[in-house]
Structure 1
Amino acid sequence: MIRTIIFDIGNVLTVFGWKNFLHSFGFPPEIEKRVGKATVDNPFWHEFDKGFLSDEEMLEGFIRNDPSVEKELREIYVSLHGIVTKADYAIPWIQALKKAGYQVLVLSNFSDKVRRENGDALDFLEYVDGGILSYKDGVIKPDPAIYSLLLERYGLKPEECVFLDDMQPNLDAAARFGIHTILFRSYEEAQEELKKLGVEA
């Protein structure tokens, strides 16, 4: 039985949060899909996500990626206020899991530089039950030390944990400890994979 859900931050909680943010505008499904691809599939997304580029620079990058949705991209831009990842939209997912009785942890190669530059986009950290962050704990995935530290610190049984990450090497390392793993491609796929493990939230 799964008791603990472990999330990567960058391309799991923040990308999920961004997609939920887009959904809040009520665009037709095809337009929402195009806007999503123009943003998340942008080659500069990681720089955007980490706060290395200004909102204005990224808006122009989004528009170059798909000029056909310029109007919608500019509409989104009006709602941006320096918190470009909109990670707080992941909070309901975390809350639902906790309400269903699961412990929620994070396990992330999160640098201190990114934390300082983009910290106010990480509101969801207040809602999780803890975890391992590389800037605090000095270990980086997929180093086995990060997984053993997590298990030891929280007294976890590996078979009762599931780890969601977008990088297969990180999941492979976790699996060697007996932790269940899910390769994160989308929220919908992740929900289906979690259901297969008996996780309903």
Structure 2
Amino acid sequence: MTQENNEQIKAIIFDVGGVLIRTFDHSGRRFWEKRLNLPEGAAEAIVLTGEMGTRAQRGEITTDELWAWAGEYLGLGDELETFQQDFWRGDAVDSDLMELIKRLNSHYQTAIISNATDALLDSLENYGIVPEFDLIVGSAYEGLLKPDPAIYEITLARLGRRPEETVFIDDAPANISAAASLGMKTILFKPSINLAAELETLGVRVS
């Protein structure tokens, strides 16, 4: 997607959850937590950040196995599908960020490194954003989770880039620290930051 440029930065690498795709509405998850007498945040802990979610993101179990376990653990029975739909319905692509990425594509390689289950590609295809990226690296496919340096090294090798030729954008400080330790330039993402301006400070052309 890129025309070769003479600047030092050659590739921009993005996280997905919390960056490209964010949960703008938590009401679906909160509804089920109240219904199941769970504390706030328990839904995310069960599906995303707990032991089974981590195993799914490492590729040790499939997405289907994760949801089957969650349904049994929560006693959802035939309501599992509704729970899944409510869990994800508040998520959406950051449209402003995607417009920025489309501008970056004319000058840079763009890539993804995501801690995600084996449903990552299907999810990104459903959101319609796969064509905007030269490379997508998912933890479940590699058997590696950020901040393991190996997942960054795999990405760099596939892009054909040195660490100092890349910018990595993530919302997790540990993942940012790991990338920086390899020599990658980094931006800790927060919804409140002006990402275009942050990129410009690193010498990235954003128009």
**How high is the TM-score relative to the length of structure 1?**
0.63
Whether the aligned pair in 2 keeps the contact of 1:104 and 1:129 (CA below 8 Å) is yes
Alignment-derived partner of residue 115 in structure 2: 109
Which residue of 1 is the match for residue 102 of structure 2? 95
Question: Could you tell me whether the CA contact under 8 Å between 1:143 and 1:173 is conserved in 2?
Answer: yes
Q: How many angstroms apart in 1 are the aligned matches of 2:82 and 2:189?
A: 24
Aligned to 2:187: 182
Give, in angstroms, the shift of residue 192 of structure 1: 1.9
Match of 1:157 among 150, 159, 162: 162
Q: Could you tell me how far 1:130 is from its partner in structure 2?
A: 0.6
1:3 aligns with 2:10: yes
Contact 2:112 2:136 in 1 (8 A): yes
Asked whether the 8 Å contact 1:141–1:170 carries over to 2, the reply is yes
1:137 Cα offset (Å) = 1.6
**Aligned residues with identical type, % of pairs:** 33
- Could you tell me which of 165, 169, 173 is aligned with 1:168? 173
Please state how far the C-alpha of 1:113 moved relative to its aligned partner.
4.7
Question: What is the CA–CA distance in structure 2 between the aligned matches of 1:190 and 1:83, rounded to whole Å?
Answer: 26
- The equivalent residue for 1:130 is 135
Aligned length: 153
> Counterpart of 1:151 in 2: which secondary structure?
helix
Moved over 3 A (4+): 36-39, 42-47, 49-55, 113-116, 118-122
Point out where structure 2 has 5 or more consecutive residues left out of the alignment.
Answer: 1-7, 31-39, 49-80
Q: Whole-Å Cα distance in 2 between the matches of residues 108 and 135 of structure 1?
A: 9
Return 5+ residue gaps in structure 1 as ranges. 19-35, 59-81
Distance 1:167 1:102 in 2: 23
Higher share in helix: 1
Provide Cα deviations, 1:53-106, integer angstroms capped at 9, x if missing partner.
466x57xxxxxxxxxxxxxxxxxxxxxxx864232734322211102x111000
Give the superposition deviation at 1:174: 0.7
TM-score where L is the length of structure 2 = 0.61
**Could you tell me whether the CA contact under 8 Å between 2:173 and 2:188 is conserved in 1?**
yes
